[in-house]
Structure 1
Amino acid sequence: MKRDLGLDAPAARALVATQQAAAATEESLRTALGSSFGGAYFDRATSKLVVGVTDASKLAVATAKGATAKVVSRSAAQLDSAIVALDAKEASAPSSVTGWYVDAIANEVVVTALPGATAAAKAFAGQDVRVVEADAPQTFVKGGDAYYIGGSRCSVGLTVSGGYVTAGHCDVLTGSGQPNNGRWGGSSFPGNDYAWVRTNSGVSLSPLVGSVTVKGSTSAATGAAVCKAGSTTGWTCGTVGSKNQTVRYAEGTVTGLTASNVRCQAGDSGGGFITSAGQGQGVVSGGNTATCYFQPLGEILSAYGLSLLRG
């Protein structure tokens, strides 16, 4: 966090405490505001949670919880419904369209496309979207060192009872090989990008991501600081971006990912995302030079009934 976010130790500790409180406030206001909830994000400039509200008469509900409230035109439910509609017609999207997501800060749907493909993106998604041009995302698998699947490697994510979670494409895209430290307990890709490995009896499991002890799996707000450990780029930090993002890799489309500006590269696939407070966030899926996507942890644990190791 000192290197990537420019924070000294006292500032990092203060940020962690503030973000934990913001995450709890977001969940509380999601329920309290109901259909008026217009999304939320953490504003590092003010160290406050910013909450969108579609009904001006309910602004006080948000401010009473200590959040900064602003009137927005679209509810979170409306924006999520737009994503569901795009997901339903994903098969008809041109190859130049690489994904879509909800921008909680701007309160709008964003479609990502290859450079020069804005017109094609709007023709597919409609004019009421913002198009962002960027390089194509790619999944991260390559030969090297970490855990091996034949001649390829990926990164351990977070440990669970009996093994660890990682990226699903580390299984699917590498053929029928087994990890060198265990056997696949289950995997899903595309659609999702998660898997878990039942480790061999001699493998020692620790509740750590990098040097940070895992204490839980509370989801951090958009804008919150987050770090990841991967076998290629090591320990890198940044902030949580848009959630529930659809990403169209060349190998298949994955929905429900979370974006970040954390640095990651080939071989980091499956590596664990975590906050400095020890809240596990997910595992590296893929990305490009500007964005690293991660598969949220809660869905992986739920899909396979796994129990997260905590310290």
Structure 2
Amino acid sequence: MKRRRLTHAVLATLLLLGGLATAGTIPAAATGPTSPTGSTPPTGSTSLATSAKPASDGLLAAMQRDLGLTRHQAEARVAAERAAAVLDPKVRRTAGEAYAGSWFDAARGRLTVALTPDASTATRRAIRAAGAEIRTAAHTARELDAAKARIDRLSAPSGVSGWHVDPVAGTVVVDIVREDRSDNDVRRFVSRARETGPVTVRTVSAAPRTFAAGTVGGDPYYTGNVRCSIGFSVYGGFVTAGHCGSPGAGVSGWDGSYIGTFQGSSFPDNDYAWVSVGSGWWTVPVVLGWGTVPDQLVRGSAVAPVGSSVCRSGSTSHWHCGTVLATNETVNYSQGAVHQLTKTSVCAEPGDSGGSFITGDQAQGVTSGGWGNCTSGGETWFQPVNEILGRYGLTLHTYTG
């Protein structure tokens, strides 16, 4: 308890030095539906605000540790990923019907765009001029998304862990648990999936699970005997994972005091929720570093392309980094399928559910589930934060200094 109180005291000092008039603990007490200036903020947040230092020293150090980079390489990668995140929606519009997917190529430090052979010379020239690499693909993104949507309508057995569109491979990838690959139900599912379009089958070592946990003292918030982690502050509360609580459920904080109430929650199908806060708690645009790295300010929620680095903060395993592996993946948990998740190579453990995924200073999503742990490694999925903001009409609390 003393450790947590010290952490919160240091955070408050950090935010005051940063010029926030309402600095405090995270998630802290509700500021209400208006911004600090008193005006009503717009719904959602997708800005990519310019800052002299988009990544803290600690975040860069975590990228060095988890991604095997030098300090210079980590700084260069953050800058390149920011540029790719800005460029990605522009080249999608330019590509039009010929668009077949895009991803960040870490080796080249550039966005790569897949186009079908019928893309015009003018389209290719415009995309190259914008700074992106081009690859040729057999199937459009729309065709691959349609195939995935058809698979979404199938009933998946437990031996199928999930499926997603892989823009690099140009197919829909279906993941099956290695020990269940000979199961008759799995074989039938794979056979039906192949009928929907271009499908590649891969094996994974374990089935995904959510990362909620039983009560452990000194962690961010509790709902009954479940412990989860806070995702991101929004005006009036914070967002987190849907499997952590149902609408109307009360939430207590790290010190046992009442924080607020789940106002909305969806799981399965989705895995998101938001909690209103009050009773002396207020919100700040910060992701906790847990003493591993300095706390990270949040400046927006621009989506990081596949291949980008991403880091996660959670109340059990604290701070870890990895890479975005896939977007719009359907994950087949034991409780039911959850759609539109983002797959990463970041590890997580029970109690990390709901916690923050961030690239540089841009919020990405809240931890849903995965397989493995932070000793042997694994993979973790998150629910994109912009979808949560749009669903509930929330505004991300961002730092604009």
TM over 0.5: yes
Residues 94 and 120, structure 1, Cα contact 8 Å, conserved in 2? no
Residue matched to 2:229: 155
Q: Deviations over 1:89-133 (max 9, x none)?
A: 2x3x33322211011111110011121427344223116411111
Q: Secondary structure at the match of 1:159?
A: strand
| Pair member with larger Rg | 2
Mapped contact 2:248–2:262 kept (Cα < 8 A): no
Cα distance in 1, alignment partners of residues 162 and 131 from structure 2:
34
- Is residue 82 from structure 1 mapped to residue 139 from structure 2 by the alignment? no
Taking structure 2 as the reference length, what is the TM-score of the superposition?
A: 0.74
SS at structure 2 position matched to 1:285? strand
Q: Which residue does 2:392 correspond to in 1?
A: 304
Match of 1:217 in 2: 301
1:166-214: per-residue Cα shift (whole Å, max 9, x none)? Answer: 0000014xx9742112111111111110001111231132211121110
Q: Name the residue aligned to 1:261.
A: 345
What amino acid is aligned across from residue 213 of structure 2 in structure 1?
K
Which stretch shifts more, 123-132 or 18-27?
123-132
Q: 1:122 to 1:270 in 2, by over 3 A?
A: same
Counterpart residue type for residue 108 of structure 2? T
Distance 2:139 2:105 in 1: 20
Say if 2:237 and 2:282, in contact at 8 Å, map to a contact too: no
The reply to whether residue 286 of structure 1 matches residue 369 of structure 2 is yes
Which of 103, 111, 121 matches 1:41? Answer: 103
User: After the TM superposition, which of the residue ranges 257-266 and 10-19 deviates more from structure 2?
Assistant: 10-19
Cα deviation, residue 7, structure 1: 2.7
What percentage of residue pairs aligned between the two structures are identical? Answer: 44
**Following the alignment from structure 1 to structure 2, what is the Cα–Cα distance between the partners of residues 120 and 4?**
38
* 1-structure distance, mates of 2:230, 2:174: 31
CA distance in 2 between counterparts of 1:39 and 1:308 reads 28
Worse-superposed segment, 55-64 or 146-155 = 55-64
Opposite residue 223 of structure 2, the aligned amino acid is I
Q: Which has the higher contact order (CA 8 A, sep 6+)?
A: 2
- Given that 1:100 and 1:110 are in contact with CA atoms closer than 8 Å, whether structure 2 keeps it comes out as yes
Instruction: Give the C-alpha shift of residue 271 in structure 1.
Output: 0.2
Which of 272, 295, 299 is the matching residue for 2:356?
272
Matched letter for residue 174 of structure 2: V
Match of 2:174 among 91, 111, 130: 111
> 1: CA distance between counterparts of 2:158 and 2:322?
29
Q: Report Cα offsets for 1:4-62 as digits up to 9, x if no partner.
A: 11234333222111111111211101001111011011111110111100035343232
Matched-pair contact (CA < 8 Å) for 1:238–1:260: yes
Contact 2:98 2:119 in 1 (8 A): no
Q: TM-score with structure 1 length normalisation?
A: 0.94
Which of 186, 201, 214 does residue 131 from structure 1 map onto? 201
1:179 to 236, 248, 251: 251
RMSD of aligned Cα (Å): 1.6
> Unaligned regions of 5+ residues in structure 1, if any?
none
After superposition, where does 1:225-264 map in structure 2 within 5 Å? 225-264=309-348
Work out the CA distance in 1 between the residues paired with 2:119 and 2:270. Answer: 37
Contact 2:325 2:342 in 1 (8 A): yes
Partner Cα distance (2:202, 2:190) in 1: 11
Q: Runs of 4+ in structure 1 displaced over 6 angstroms? A: none
Contact residue 272 and residue 383 of structure 2 kept, 8 A: yes
- What are the superposed Cα offsets for residues 256-307 of structure 1, whole Å, 9 maximum, x if unpaired? 000000111111000011112x110000000112210000010000111111
Aligned with 1:102 (options 165, 178, 203): 165
SS at match of 1:244: strand
Alignment-derived partner of residue 62 in structure 1 = 127
Question: Are the counterparts in 2 of residues 33 and 61 from structure 1 also a CA contact under 8 Å?
Answer: no
Quote the Cα distance in structure 1 between the aligned partners of 2:297 and 2:70.
20
User: Does 1:207 find its partner at 2:285?
Assistant: yes
Q: For residue 310 of structure 1, give the secondary structure of its aligned residue in structure 2.
A: coil
